[in-house]
Amino acid sequence: MGLTAPIVNAPMGGAAGGRLAAAVSAAGGLGMIGMGSSATAAALTAELPHVAGLDRPFGIGLVHWVTAAEPALLEAALAAGPALLAVSFGDDWAWVARAHDAGVPVAAQVADVTGARRAVDAGVDVVVARGAEGGGHGEPRMGTLPLLAEVLDAVDVPVLAAGGIGSARGLAAVLAAGAAGAWLGTVFTTCTEALTPPAARAELLAASGEATVTTRVFDVALDYPWPVHLPERVLRNEFVDRFDGREDEIGADARAELAAAIRVGDHRRAPVNAGQGVGMVRASRPAADVVAELCAGAERLLRRWG
């Protein structure tokens, strides 16, 4: 794809819009526009002008069960001509052939080596080995480094490492292990180009690495049909403490309370997705600065390690 930086920004719904994708791509990585749980074809179309005049490749990331409910979303993504289309969290691989017919390479996130083999057998061009440390939704089956090592030995396509990578040391570690690059989410959530609301941005900047938890409370409370085996990693807050493991107690009053908190950005109750690398995110900076710092630091470390 002509990338000069081994970095792909994770297509995080609610954070990775067209501006962030354009900035990451302009910095030499692969910028991904992310469409999450509430994605629509119209929402994707609204983000595309940011990358329309870009002379660098960009990608689009979708959630499988969302595209199944709204087929126009996949059509809009393919029509945009991305350099990479990622569709994750599903067992139906029919979309791979449709993307290839449109001349679009594809990627998928996997949580174990069995999933990696299935993805490659289905024709996926790039595998994202997403460890349990990652923010947002995913299957928390293995840590990033053991998952990456096992997947690299099992498949013969490029593998991107994801989950908890928030520093030059983390990037250097996965590159040294053999990853083709890193799929980074949380480290980009506070960038000036991200869609992250100000209140959530402040929570991310203040959080420590041990402040996250995997939970289903928000999916249950908001009636999002995420499968049980795909919880989301978020910053722990009062709502999580009250209902995690007691999701059947989330009634109408709690749902209304959460909806009101989301409207006003009250993150004592409202969710903030974050991976375990959040403790290394300490400033709101342009994405180009983040890419440059990560790459320069990783290069120095790799030279030192020989």
Average pLDDT of the residues in 191-212: 97
Tell me, what amino acid is at 3? L
Domains and CATH numbers, the chain: 7-194+284-303 (3.20.20.70), 212-273 (no CATH)
Q: Please determine, for residue 64, whether its predicted confidence score (pLDDT) is greater than 90.
A: yes
CA distance 177 to 266: 40
pLDDT of residue 155: 98
Region at 303 (left for phi over 0; alpha for psi -120 to 50; beta for the rest) = alpha
The string of DSSP letters for the chain reads ---SSSEEE---TTT--HHHHHHHHHTTSBEEEE--TT--HHHHHHHTHHHHT-SS-EEEEEEHHHHHH-HHHHHHHHHT--SEEEEES-S--HHHHHHHHTT--EEEEESSHHHHHHHHHTT-SEEEEE-TT-SEE----S-HHHHHHHHHHH-SS-EEEESS--SHHHHHHHHHHT-SEEEE-HHHHTSTTS---HHHHHHHHH--GGGEEEE-HHHHHTT----TT--EEEE--HHHHHHTT-GGG--HHHHHHHHHHHHHT-TTTS--B--GGGGG------HHHHHHHHHHHHHHHHHHH-
List the Cα angle 39/40/46 in 5-degree steps.
Answer: 100
Q: Please determine, for residue 1, whether its predicted confidence score (pLDDT) is greater than 90.
A: no
List, for residues 95-150, the tens digit of each pLDDT value.
999 999 999 999 999 999 999 999 999 999 999 999 999 999 999 999 999 999 99
CA distance 46 to 59: 15
Q: Please determine, for residue 53, whether its predicted confidence score (pLDDT) is greater than 90.
A: no
Percent of the chain with pLDDT over 90: 97
Between strands 159-162 and 126-130, the pairing is parallel
State the pTM of this model: 0.96
Q: Please choose, from the candidates 234, 186, 240, 189, the residue with its C-alpha nearest in 3D space to the C-alpha of residue 213.
A: 234
Structure-block tokens of residue 72:
């126009």
pLDDT of residue 50: 97
- In what side-by-side order are the strands of the sheet with 181-184? 7-9, 181-184, 159-162, 126-130, 106-110, 84-88, 58-63, 31-34
pLDDT of residue 2: 84
CA distance 230 to 39: 18
Mean pLDDT of the chain: 97
